[in-house]
Amino acid sequence: MFQIARWKCPVIASKIILPALTLAAAMAASAPADAKTITAVMHSDLRVIDPGFTTAYITRDHGYMVYDTLLATDANFKIQPQMADWKVSDDKLTYTFTLRDGLKWHDGAPVTAEDCVASLKRWGKNDGMGQKLMDFTASIEAPDAKTIVLKLKEPYGLVLETIGKPSSLVPFMMPKRLAETPPGQQIKEQIGSGPFKFVAAEFQPGVKAVYEKNKDYVPRKEPASWTAGGKIVKVDRVEWITMADAQTAVNALQSGDIDFMENPSWDILPVLAANPDLRVEDLNKFGFQTVGRMNFLYPPFDNLKVRRAALMALNQKDVLDGLVGNPKYYRICGAIFICDTPLATDVGSETLVKGNGMAEAKKLLAASGYDGTPIVIMAPGDVVTLKAQPIVAAQLLREAGFKVDVQATDWQTVVTRRASQKPPSEGGWNMFFTNFTSADVANPVAHFPITAKGKNGSWFGWPDDPKEEALRDAFVRASSPDEQKKIAADIQQEVYDQVIYIPLGQYLAPSAWRKSLSGVLDGPATPVFWNIDKSE
């Protein structure tokens, strides 16, 4: 999909920033003296810790530490048993899942099928794939402590792929008492059955999050593969340390004060690749799609003409040059379902990929009735992969004639604020940008940004488009790959016609870690910290 850069350059000595290293030392000092600890700087600070509350990847990553899943996806894109095995009735209407032995919650209670039914129901209200599965579901029940029975109204070919999805609102299992938390509220405890336990007493948002090995966890016997297989924990602790300044984190990685850095900036990769103590590798070989999202509830983007003017004003090359810089790590691609996949098409994407829509944008905006009210764009400054998009977009929108109010925040503020349906003048917003791993946007059911069920069913921004939803239903009922491909092209045309979201291209984001770490796994939802060992 991409050409991965292989650079050679001399090691550049960096000045160590002492306050950050003092902080890192303090983090390490909190661990027992003999504990084998991995210290990592993730792509974002962790603040929202309910994995069913947000699609933010840092919360998903936290979820994989603490929780487990009924099914999982391996490196061959095959669904595998994780907490449960399954069988399917001959008429394809009944799926029976049987929990494996040895499953316990972190508080010592046994995992029951009743817990899992409640977890599936909670997840099915929030996740796009889950919602679609629930549309086809007649019932989900727990006839005994180890058995979950899902009955369909009609055959649905993506049941296993939905329950085994690897990213964004993953169907993590949790105790019934937590899964029954009312919609819109976050769960009060972090009690899962996964390979790590969350150390709530050491959680300091903006500073660190700590996880300890779950000694009661019984891993599967199969080798680890993506999110499937045996989740064998080989260290005592994992500490996620917040270093908002990327250069500070790079310095700490090179000096050995941290072990792992999820997203170094692209311009520093030559330095890290030249360091003999470090390894630089892209753990997500399928990359990411970066996207822009408008708020459909309030002016001016409740007006299709204004949305189309904004679409025409933006172009992928300017955004990717600002975000990544090096074309070896990015790809201009108008396919909403990712280039080089069976569903890829360029339908509707011409101005985005060619960058020739500015003149038309000015005409459309002038004819739209736009009254000059500033567009509120949320702009996080603390995440390498999210800093450039709002700045580049604001410049292009201003050129088209929009007035723009860029409001600088951190990413976790954006994660919280984007859920608000208040008007922009009361703390709401008009536009934000984010990224999706390719696995999250590879088909019309998984794809969060194209759901169009309005205020109570869509992803943040809340578009309402019955035609789009009818096309998504037609896709899951399609009887052949050719029919699916045709419907996917119709879906993409509708996305561009209504400007349901704006795909702004694809990119790779390599990670870096010290060679004292071994067993680092790749996958569509990375990084994960099982299977990793650390030598002294």
> What's the CATH fold of domain 288-507?
Dipeptide-binding Protein; domain 3 (3.10.105)
Task: Indicate the CATH number for domain 18-66+194-283+510-534.
Answer: 3.40.190.10
Q: Count Cβ neighbours within 10 Å for each residue of 109-141 and write b for 16 or more, e otherwise.
A: eebbbbbbbbbbbbbbebbbbbbbbbebbeebe
Contact present, 226 and 524 (Cβ < 8 Å): yes
The Cα–Cα gap between 111 and 299 comes to: 48
Give 403's pLDDT tier (boundaries 50, 70, 90): very high
pTM: 0.88
Domain ranges, ordered by start, for the chain: 18-66+194-283+510-534, 68-179, 288-507
Average pLDDT, the chain: 93
Mean pLDDT of 333-354: 95
Residue 5: pLDDT over 60: no
Residue 20: pLDDT over 80: no
Contact present, 72 and 164 (Cβ < 8 Å): yes
Task: Indicate the CATH number for domain 68-179.
Answer: 3.90.76.10
| Per-residue pLDDT tens digits for 437-457 | 998 999 999 998 999 999 988
The Cα–Cα gap between 245 and 53 comes to: 27
pLDDT of residue 26: 46
pLDDT higher at 301 or 448: 301
pLDDT higher at 172 or 18: 172
Residue 170: pLDDT over 50: yes
Mean pLDDT of 278-305: 97
Amino acid letter for position 344: A
Question: Which of 48-52, 374-378, 390-394, 476-480 bottoms out in mean pLDDT, i.e. has the lowest?
Answer: 476-480
The Cα–Cα gap between 178 and 119 comes to: 8
pLDDT of residue 202: 97
